[in-house]
Chain A
Amino acid sequence: MKKTENKSGKSGMQVMKKLMAFIGNYKIFLGLSIVLAAVTVILQLYIPILFGDAIDEVVAAHQVNFPEMWFYLKRIVFFTLVSALSAWIMNLINNRMTYRIVRDLRSQAIRHIQVLPLSYLDQHSSGDIVSRVIADTDILSDGLLLGFTQLFSGIVTIIVTLFFMFSKNVWITLLVICLTPLSFFVAKFISGRSFKMFQKQSETRGKQTALIDEMIGNQKVVKAFGYEEKASERFAEINKDLQKYSQQAVFYSSLTNPSTRFVNNVIYAGVALVGAFMIPGGALTVGGLSVLLSYANQYMKPFNDISSVITEMQNALACAGRIFALLEEKEESADPAGTIDTVTGNVTIDDVAFSYDKEKKLIENFNLDVQPGMRVAIVGPTGCGKTTFINLLMRFYDVDAGKVCIDGKPIDKLSRHALRSCFGMVLQDTWIKQGTVRDNISFGKPDATEEEIINAAKEAHSWEFIKRLPKGLDTVLSEDSISQGQKQLLCITRVMLCLPPMLILDEATSSIDTRTELQVQEAFDKLMQGRTSFVVAHRLSTIRNASLILVMKDGKIIEQGRHEELLEKKGFYYNLYNSQFQAS
């Protein structure tokens, strides 16, 4: 991933090209937007000239040329309407273009996430990916697309302004051109100075945020140890630093506007002075001076706009790079078309090797033959890699060597859907989607009838609590509305409804209380009857009933056999098992 990011950093042009390709359908919009921007800008700059002309018709008492003035004023109204209309249409087009491109990018990203290999998703925090899909696309649309039109209209503004100013008076225009960069330098000077303060401010703020996260995030521990005063002291220390840096940063950065305004005011006065000297000589009219005065103030604005637009665009390009890095991330290997009809539940693992990090060997020469209906328990200390086994069975990860077969068919010849439909899976991390209880239960079988759902819930012992929810099956679930144990029961119900031929259970019952667990296990026993199942469990009772136990340690399978056999071996399992009965 780092490589792709570097690449995108190297050439913004490459990202730009990709983006242009993506804009595709909206190219007409983009073109139209540019044309309208030009029309709007030119008219908006031309109108002050007309005002100047109109004012020139108002010379003095009894010297007002009303017909001429009326002529200019009519034109002003007309051009105002045209320019406003074109500005409005431009806004609408820009809105539509940017929002739709964001929509397309997001929906493409979500589609892509469905086919990304799990190795990628496991290695990247979901927060990072979410920020690419949500925040980066927003910045991209704001920065790059709007930036593009702003950049364009900024350039048009400068050119047209200069043209009009020259047409009014060459010398004053030259004066303005020479002096205006001054305000630019002043702004640069100040922002250069305040940058350091900002850096210190954000550094300190980062420290403070970390402390807040730690202390408030774990406030109960802080209280349990009577650490409150110490925490307050530590916070006060950082807070004082932050005050110092923030005050400087806020103050210095707020000097930019008054300073550039001062420079502009001086230029304004200068234009007034020189203009006033020229009018009696006939080189300039009063209306012309008023035009030049208003231009003198406006002239600088596009420069400031352009510089901030460019920073924004660079930022947006970086974001685009991150989005494209996600979109171009290699998909999982192509999905074969193989199907499997009636699964008897025979699973063979033949000389399989696998590791997450290709430098560190994990599983090697792994062989296993599971007959239909067998119950395989996977045990071992925490972090021994029990989930790896599931990853391989479900083909969340591909094996490096050897093969895994179901009913004699190698799983990498089956379509992923065909393979995964063979298994019902309940993971340790309960996952509940936003939606109703019904949505969650019927997740694997959307066309399930009410009766089927209720039956499944009854069998998984979740019906008890579901019927007590405010709206029963139609209760909308949020993160905290039900307990961990209830979530787990829902996940079990989900599988119960699908009745797949094989099962994978990952410590599924660990957060259900033991009495409920007993009931759930009964249900599971029923479910597992005649079904090949793989159970990752801490509970020795589950393990003891298994037809085969795989003992894992450090990612390797170190022992396998039945409970009694393994006890007789007096190996690792023997110790593991006996420790449960040691005196406390």
Chain B
Amino acid sequence: MKSLGVYLKHYKKESIIAPLFKLLEVVFDLLVPMVVAQIIDVGIAGNNRPYIVSRFGILVLMAAVGLCCSFTAQYFAAKASVGCATELRQAVFDHIQALSFTELDTIGTDTLITRLINDINQVQNGINMGLRLLLRSPFIVFGSVVMAFTVNVKCAIVFLVTVPILFVAVFGIMLVSIPLFKKVQAALDRVTGMTRENLNGVRVIRAFCREEQSVADFEKSNDELTRLNEFVGKISALLNPLTYVLINIAAVVLIWQAGLQVNIGSMQQGQVVALYNYMLQIIVELIKLASLIITLNKSVACAERVSGVLTVPTTMNYPAKGGAAKKVTGDAAVTFKNVSFTYAGAGAESLSDISFTAKRGQTIGIIGGTGSGKSTLVSLISRFYDATSGDVMVDGENVKNYTKEELCNKVGVVQQRAVLFKGSIRDNMKWGKEDATDAEIWEALTTAQAKEVVEGKQDQLDFMLEQNGKNLSGGQKQRLSIARALVKKPEILILDDSSSALDFATDAKLRKAVHNLEGNTTTFLVSQRIAGIRQADQILVLGNGTLEGNGTHDELMKTCEVYREIYFSQFPEERAAYNNESGVIA
């Protein structure tokens, strides 16, 4: 919460002026019943018409000045709240840009998006309402009581007793119902979840003939929600009738007391009217205050969540100065030295004691089951995560010594899930290299087997992709995302199971083209399919985070049990041949 105060500080002037002018407006509002009382007691009683007209003029003048005060307050409140929210939004967005993969994993991008959009809007709303109204209602209530005292002390006692009782009634009901509203929300979330579940699982539900049971489950949650709703409704339905009764009884007592006071001559009739009006104002403002507090309560919760994001520190630091990129020594492109890695919050290591060297220009295959650490391993090369222990070296230099740009230029990654952005194909391709020429883009597209995809579009490179590339098929997206990584001609190219949606023929062509890339590109191919990596210069076999084998296909077939098993699971008939060869009786 504190960290957010900074953003409001930039609008210090506005945040003071807005409530100040709001209070001024209230002062004029509070004076109105007094002026009316004067009209009755002085003007009417003395049948003094000029006096009445002058008081009328004062009333209109007060209304006009009140209007100006109000406009001023609204203007500054809008400026402060919107300005503060804008700065906050930018700060959160920038902060997210600086977060590393570890933080993104722990917080989750969905959460970040909600914080950025909904929560900050709520904060803006809260600041705006708070600046305008938070002081107004208590001030009117307080002011009314004070004014009552100026009129008649005995009558003011009625106010003094009534206000706390009303306060307890209004806020008591509110305090009881707020936690219940949370329960209602949770019940509603369950019903929503079940609706979604019914839609997403429709095929399974129907295949297992479980429609009736699904409806029954849903109705159980639905009934629970209804029951809770009715229960909360019963409590909050009390608020208006209860306060209404309280305020009217107070007014009855007030008028009885006022009657006594007038009778002994210590008060006049117009003042009775004024007191009655003050009493009515109090209840209106108390109820406004209660609903304002509910809004503010929500805003504060949102503000806390936003500030939670801002206070997450990034765990990844890059050296400020570059230079590591220049001194290239030896022929090792990537070296792992006893590397272990544990994801934040995870109990077990995802990679344990991995060591290997990939020489420049080699193709490295990585194979292993799901969860064996394949993707984790390659994401250490691009320094998406830092090794928990051991060293990851690129071109003989620890990855931690490269600046972000240097490393980003060296390593091109194509992630499992193909992601494209709204904009033309050309815009998307330029993500890899901002000043890429069309020729360079076409070259990359050709290598990625995506040339025909683009050629098939009427606008070619200007073809507009929708958000997430929705207007392309999965295979087309994958090929374009591979091309995007190729545009920057990285020295190290990582394809992380990124051709899974391609058919075998295209996949094979792609691998061939990548293999024949000009220059000395070191390629990492992550795959579940033996066929995808069997031609690699070096194959790393991972099993549960440990390196089970390292060598060429032929070597591994001889030495690595895990590799053999994977191989035979994909080529069963080879098992017999192998068994004959090695003299084992099948």
Q: A64-B262, A121-B199, A513-B528 are in contact. Are A80 and B245 (CB under 8 A)?
A: yes
B97 at the interface (CB under 8 A from A): yes
CB-CB contacts below 8 Å: B88-120 with A = 89-90, 93-94, 96-101, 104, 109-110, 112-113, 116-117
Q: How far is the CA of A516 from the CA of B372 in the complex (A)?
A: 12
- Give the size of the chain A interface in residues (CB under 8 angstroms): 150
Of A9-17, A351-359, A404-412, A414-422, the one with at least 4 CB within 8 A of chain B: A414-422
- Give 22 A-B contacts (CB < 8 Å), ordered by A residue: A55-B269, A61-B262, A64-B259, A76-B248, A92-B237, A95-B230, A114-B205, A129-B195, A216-B116, A217-B110, A226-B404, A227-B431, A243-B82, A247-B82, A247-B83, A254-B132, A290-B276, A382-B503, A511-B370, A514-B569, A541-B571, A576-B504
Q: How far is the CA of A172 from the CA of B419 in the complex (A)?
A: 70
Q: How far is the CA of A429 from the CA of B572 in the complex (A)?
A: 27
Contact of A76 among B206, B214, B252, B528 (CB under 8 A): B252
Please name the residue on chain A nearest to B59 by beta carbon: A269
Interface string of B421-434 (1 = CB under 8 A from A): 11000000001100
Contact of A518 among B270, B531, B565 (CB under 8 A): B565
B78 and A59 form a contact (CB under 8 A):
no
Q: How far is the CA of A579 from the CA of B468 in the complex (A)?
A: 30
Please name the residue on chain B nearest to A132 by beta carbon: B195
Q: How far is the CA of A84 from the CA of B264 in the complex (A)?
A: 34
Chain A residues whose CB sits within 8 angstroms of the CB of B503 once the complex forms? 381-382, 576, 579
CB-CB contacts below 8 Å: B11-64 with A = 25, 32, 36, 39-40, 43-44, 47, 49, 52-53, 55-56, 59-60, 62-64
CB-CB contacts below 8 Å: B256-290 with A = 256, 258-260, 262-265, 268-270, 272-273, 276-277, 280
Chain A residues whose CB sits within 8 angstroms of the CB of B471 once the complex forms? none
B44 and A73 form a contact (CB under 8 A):
no
Q: How far is the CA of A129 from the CA of B264 in the complex (A)?
A: 72
Chain B, interface size category, equals: 35 or more
A107 and B222 form a contact (CB under 8 A):
yes
Q: A209-B117, A250-B128, A513-B372 are in contact. Are A235 and B90 (CB under 8 A)?
A: yes
A84 and B474 form a contact (CB under 8 A):
no
Please name the residue on chain A nearest to B40 by beta carbon: A286
B405 and A226 form a contact (CB under 8 A):
yes
Chain A residues whose CB sits within 8 angstroms of the CB of B203 once the complex forms? 118, 394, 396, 425, 427, 431
Least CB distance, A113 to chain B, in whole angstroms: 6
Question: B82, B422, B431 — which one has the most chain A CB atoms within 10 A of its CB?
Answer: B82
Chain A residues whose CB sits within 8 angstroms of the CB of B99 once the complex forms? 219
Chain A residues whose CB sits within 8 angstroms of the CB of B32 once the complex forms? 265, 268
Chain A residues whose CB sits within 8 angstroms of the CB of B116 once the complex forms? 212, 216
The majority secondary structure among interface residues of chain B is: helix
The majority secondary structure among interface residues of chain A is: helix
Contact of A582 among B36, B44, B208, B512 (CB under 8 A): B512
A513 and B369 form a contact (CB under 8 A):
yes
Chain B residues whose CB sits within 8 angstroms of the CB of A270 once the complex forms? 56
B244 and A83 form a contact (CB under 8 A):
yes
Q: How far is the CA of A100 from the CA of B39 in the complex (A)?
A: 53
Q: How far is the CA of A106 from the CA of B190 in the complex (A)?
A: 13
Question: B77, B200, B515 — which one has the most chain A CB atoms within 10 A of its CB?
Answer: B200
B36 and A262 form a contact (CB under 8 A):
no
Q: How far is the CA of A517 from the CA of B529 in the complex (A)?
A: 12
CB-CB contacts below 8 Å: A65-92 with B = 66, 69-70, 73, 76-77, 80-81, 83-85, 87-88, 91-92
Q: How far is the CA of A242 from the CA of B121 in the complex (A)?
A: 12
Interface string of A140-172 (1 = CB under 8 A from B): 000000000000000000000000000000000
